[in-house]
């Protein structure tokens, strides 16, 4: 097997990053990484599609590499050209999100700080900045920002969940438990929160206050794990039976080890990549290749929807994707936003998008009536 590799150095205010793409060891695809100070920050595997494969692997590697390089450069260029004012906050949050997705956390910090300077009460920027600082190991600073975010946007379950994760990092299981419960009051369909609540109880077993909360600790933990999996089958817990057996036997440390090795399946995190692509489409003119990418993404999500029709995030992403395609797809987008709210009535972003889109549709229908009277 021949080995091919592409590499570029990208410099920005956040520092110097290296983006590298090379053959996968099995020659079935390409692995792209972003590296800073010798540490890998971003990893993405791109499987070679036989329908799209070019004359040789070297050309395929070059094209895969160019895709990521172009996305990062577009983010940098858009950031440099965007004025630092309150009206830019919405899109600058997306730029920061994009940098964070690529592991360019230092640059993401700069973006979110710009938003907060121009819009001090922007809870989304506060929370996203907290997430980035958490990834940089600045947990105490992250907690301060998460507190500001939940104060600014107390109705956002994700913000309470992020605060809980930071508390768990510091071993503050009681505080983590309280934050997760707040997230579940807002969104009782939040699979990840049930999963984290089980972990918080296991972590806090030495806390007398945690013991006093429950009549039967084992039943509470197992119930939350099962609820998480029932809401989102893509949470991989390895052997649920093994976890249950450990808990019933009182081997809590062993149960915790298994749970901590059970992240959400990778397809869920692919949302980050596609959200970034959708931002880039908003900031540039649509062309045939962009449309093809989004239609492909829609097909991908529709397949996931067949597997799990009651997962609100899939409906929400389908709503976003259909909305971008053109006005022709707005009715489909409305349908998906409504379905997301049926599954999770507390889905704030789905409700906001639905309201805005319905207003747009009403305006369009009124305009058509006026023209064709």
pLDDT tens across 346-360, in order? 787 788 888 888 877
Q: pLDDT grade, residue 293 (50/70/90)?
A: low
CATH value at residue 366 = 1.25.40.10
| Separation CA 365–CA 353 (nearest Å) | 18
Question: What are the tokens at 195?
Answer: 């999963």
pLDDT tens digit sequence for 128-154: 999 999 999 999 999 999 999 999 999
As a whole number of angstroms, the distance between CA 341 and CA 313 comes to 10
Question: Burial code of 155-193, b = ≥16 C-beta within 10 A, e = fewer?
Answer: ebbbbbbbbbbbbbeeebbbbbbebbebbbebbebbbbb
Give the C-alpha separation, 193 to 320, whole Å.
Answer: 24
Residue 113 has pLDDT above 80, yes or no: yes
**Number of domains forming the structure of the chain:** 2
pLDDT digit string, tens, across residues 65-91: 988 898 888 889 888 888 877 677 878
Host domain of residue 36: 5-79
Q: Which residue has the higher pLDDT, 364 or 15?
A: 15
Boundary (domain end) residue, out of 47, 79, 111 = 79
Average pLDDT rounded to a whole number, residues 17-37: 82
Q: Is residue 86 part of a domain?
A: no
3-state DSSP call for residue 285? coil
Hey, which residues does 286 pair with through a beta bridge? none
Indicate whether 339 belongs to any domain. yes
Q: Are the C-beta atoms of 363 and 343 separated by less than 8 Å?
A: no
* pLDDT of 180 over the 70 cut: yes
CB 78 within 8 A of CB 99: no
H helix or E strand, kind and range, residue 11: strand 5-12
């Amino acid at each position: 097997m021949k080995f091919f590799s592409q590499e570029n150095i990208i410099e920005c205010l956040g520092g110097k990053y290296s983006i590298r793409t090379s053959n996968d060891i099995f020659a079935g695809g390409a692995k792209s990484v972003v590296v800073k100070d010798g540490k890998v920050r971003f990893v993405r595997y791109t499987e070679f599609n036989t329908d799209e494969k070019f004359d040789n692997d070297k050309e395929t590697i070059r094209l895969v590499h160019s895709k990521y390089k172009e996305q990062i450069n577009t983010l940098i260029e858009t950031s440099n050209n965007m004025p630092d004012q309150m009206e830019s906050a919405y899109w600058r949050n997306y730029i920061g999100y994009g940098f964070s997705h690529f592991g360019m956390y230092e640059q993401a910090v700069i973006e979110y700080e710009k938003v907060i300077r121009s819009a001090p009460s922007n809870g989304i920027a506060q929370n996203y900045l907290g997430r980035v600082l958490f990834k940089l190991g600045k947990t105490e600073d992250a907690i301060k920002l998460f507190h500001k975010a939940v104060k600014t946007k107390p109705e956002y379950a994700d913000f309470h969940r992020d605060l809980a994760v930071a508390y768990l990092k510091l071993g503050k299981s009681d505080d983590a438990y309280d934050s997760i419960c707040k997230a579940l009051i807002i969104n009782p369909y939040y699979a990840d929160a049930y999963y984290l609540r089980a972990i918080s109880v296991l972590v806090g077993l030495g806390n007398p206050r945690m013991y006093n909360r429950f009549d039967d600790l084992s039943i509470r933990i197992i119930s939350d794990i099962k609820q998480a999996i029932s809401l989102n089958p893509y949470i991989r817990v390895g052997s649920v039976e093994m976890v249950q057996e450990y808990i019933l036997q009182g081997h809590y440390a062993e149960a915790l080890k298994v749970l901590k090795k059970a992240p959400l399946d990778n397809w869920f995190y692919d949302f980050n990549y596609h959200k970034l692509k959708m931002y880039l489409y908003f900031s540039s003119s649509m062309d045939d290749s962009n449309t093809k990418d989004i239609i492909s993404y829609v097909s991908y999500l529709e397949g996931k929807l067949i597997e799990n029709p009651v997962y609100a995030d899939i409906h929400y992403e389908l709503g976003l994707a259909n909305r971008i395609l053109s006005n022709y797809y707005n009715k489909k987008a409305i349908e998906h936003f409504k379905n997301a709210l049926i599954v999770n009535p507390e889905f704030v972003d789905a409700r906001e998008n639905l309201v805005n889109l319905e207003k747009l549709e009403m305006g369009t229908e009124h305009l058509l009536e006026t023209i064709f009277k």
